């Protein structure tokens, strides 16, 4: 699973969606994706990347329904 910097590296534009759809054609435009990076100082939080707006923020890792995000693998 990618860390925050690896996944955020897929953000390529300031227009929504911020992920290049020609390289990643099956990525939902308004997807939020988990990273392997913990949010410093809070064991229950981890970073996520939102491709609809091109930013990263944190979410609870405990499986709350509102934070049931997919994972985007990178190479």
Q: What is the model's pLDDT at position 71?
A: 79
CB 11 within 8 Å of CB 19: yes
Q: What is the model's pLDDT at position 63?
A: 61
Q: What is the model's pLDDT at position 4?
A: 93
Q: What is the model's pLDDT at position 38?
A: 93
Q: What is the model's pLDDT at position 66?
A: 62
HEC profile for 1-38? CCCHHHHHCCECCCCCCCECCCCCCCCCCCCEEEEEEE
- For the chain, the distance separating the N- and C-terminal CA atoms, rounded to the nearest angstrom, is 10
pLDDT along the chain (75 residues), means of 10: 91 81 79 89 90 87 68 76
- State how far the Cα of 5 lies from the Cα of 45, in Å rounded to an integer: 16
Residue ranges of domains in the chain: 4-67
């Amino acid at each position: 699973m990618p860390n925050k910097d690896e996944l955020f590296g897929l953000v390529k534009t300031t227009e929504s969606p911020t992920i290049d759809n020609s390289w990643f054609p099956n990525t939902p435009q308004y997807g939020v994706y988990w990273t392997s990076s913990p949010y410093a100082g809070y064991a229950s939080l981890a970073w996520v990347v939102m491709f609809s707006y091109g930013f990263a923020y944190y979410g609870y890792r405990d499986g709350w329904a509102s934070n049931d995000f997919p994972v985007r693998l990178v190479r």
